[in-house]
């Protein structure tokens, strides 16, 4: 029997998808990481700012989500602040302009 919760066991295939125009990827294909990123993508699409995020990538080993933002997004501007507040609602741990931030605890893995 396969241990679906072993550190490097891929739970999700493919481990990269595009949702609302944003590329989402999980280093080890972890379901909870994809769930967080999908929720974030859905929320920013509802706010009509999904075009401001090019990519989200979850480093499964470090448990940190990183963002590739559109070139027009600058630290402290209105859009960046909205993206940050949305990330705090949807992503457990993420890097934001070089600082590790903590959001709502959605980590569902045992």
The rounded average pLDDT for each run of 10 residues, N- to C-terminus, in the chain (110 residues) is 81 85 92 93 97 95 94 96 97 96 69
pLDDT score for 87 = 97
Q: What is the pTM of this model?
A: 0.88
How is the chain split into domains, by residue range?
16-102
Tell me, rounded to whole angstroms, the distance of Cα 40 from its chain centroid.
7
pLDDT value of position 109: 47
Instruction: Give residues with Cβ within 8 angstroms of 25, minimum separation 6.
Output: 15, 16, 17, 55, 56, 57, 58
């Amino acid at each position: 029997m396969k241990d679906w919760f072993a550190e490097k066991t891929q739970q999700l295939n493919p481990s990269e998808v595009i949702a609302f125009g944003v590329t989402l990827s999980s280093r080890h294909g972890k379901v909870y990481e994809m769930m967080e990123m999908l929720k974030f993508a859905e929320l920013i699409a509802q706010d009509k700012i999904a075009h401001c995020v090019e990519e989200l990538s979850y480093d499964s080993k470090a448990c940190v989500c990183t963002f590739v933002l559109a070139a027009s997004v600058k630290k402290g501007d209105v859009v960046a602040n909205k993206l940050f507040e949305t990330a705090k609602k949807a992503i457990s741990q993420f890097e934001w302009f070089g600082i590790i931030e903590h959001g709502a605890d959605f980590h569902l893995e045992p």
